[in-house]
Amino acid sequence: MCRRGEPFLVTIRKVFRPNGNSESKLNMGQVMKRLFAWLCGLALLSLTSPQLPVQAQTAAVATGTAGPFSYDVTQEVTLNGTVSSVLTKPAAGMIMGSHLLLATISGPVDASLGRFGLRGKGAVSVAAGEQIEVTGVMKTIKNQQVFLARTVKAGGQVYTIRNEHGFPVSPQARERASQKTAGEGL
């Protein structure tokens, strides 16, 4: 689980071991060594790759606009609270999808679980009155504070609601992740 104060390590972990499942963390020296080795490998690869045709588009990764839902994993926080309501449909004024209304020591929190959080196999199973832990990013959307939950810990189980980029994890994606599909083609 990602906790406040660890975002850099979290990011590095995703970049270098996308399929890794080790929870061991790297110190900065190890990180820099691997980063250097990775960049060298990338540079070598670029020298050996076939020449691209004339193109107008740069090969640099483009960055889209930072919309309200843009998700910065480095801004993640973890909240503990008591579920006051489980909303499979948004109430008036809420953003799309399912929501958990939480009572926390800082006050009420609207935790967005997105379109898929409460549906399908692997959906969050939680009831009002239950103590839970949610990790995500607080955003202001349409003048309202919304907590975009990435993970929910309830009843000793951790549910993944969004991926590291903030995109909702569908039941199909959960199924695929559980199967550790090797991935083909695409």
Q: Interface residues with other proteins (CB under 8 A)?
A: 14-15, 18, 49-71, 89-90, 95-97, 114-116, 119-121, 139, 141-142, 146, 163, 165-168, 170-177, 181, 183-186
The conformation of residue 54, written as its DSSP 8-state character, comes to S
DSSP strand E in the chain: where?
A: 77-87, 98-104, 107-114, 131-141, 144-154, 157-160
Q: Which is nearer to other proteins, 2 or 131 (CB)?
A: 2
Q: Which is nearer to other proteins, 154 or 169 (CB)?
A: 169
Sign of the alpha-carbon dihedral angle for 168, 170, 173, 178: positive
Kindly give, in sequence order, each residue whose CB lies less than 8 Å from that of residue 157, ignoring residues fewer than 6 positions away: 125
Question: Rounded to an integer, what distance in angstroms lies between the CA atom of residue 28 and that of residue 156?
Answer: 32
Q: Which is nearer to other proteins, 82 or 125 (CB)?
A: 125
Residue 104 CB, shortest distance to other proteins, in Å, is: 22
Q: Which is nearer to other proteins, 14 or 34 (CB)?
A: 14
Residue 172 CB, shortest distance to other proteins, in Å, is: 4
Long-range contacts of 93-101 (CB under 8 A, 24+ apart): 93/142, 93/144, 94/144, 94/146, 95/141, 95/142, 95/146, 97/168, 100/124, 100/126, 100/132, 100/134, 100/149, 100/152
Residue 105 CB, shortest distance to other proteins, in Å, is: 26
Residue 46 CB, shortest distance to other proteins, in Å, is: 12
Residue 22 CB, shortest distance to other proteins, in Å, is: 16
Q: Which is nearer to other proteins, 24 or 181 (CB)?
A: 181
Q: Which is nearer to other proteins, 67 or 129 (CB)?
A: 67
Residue 108 CB, shortest distance to other proteins, in Å, is: 19
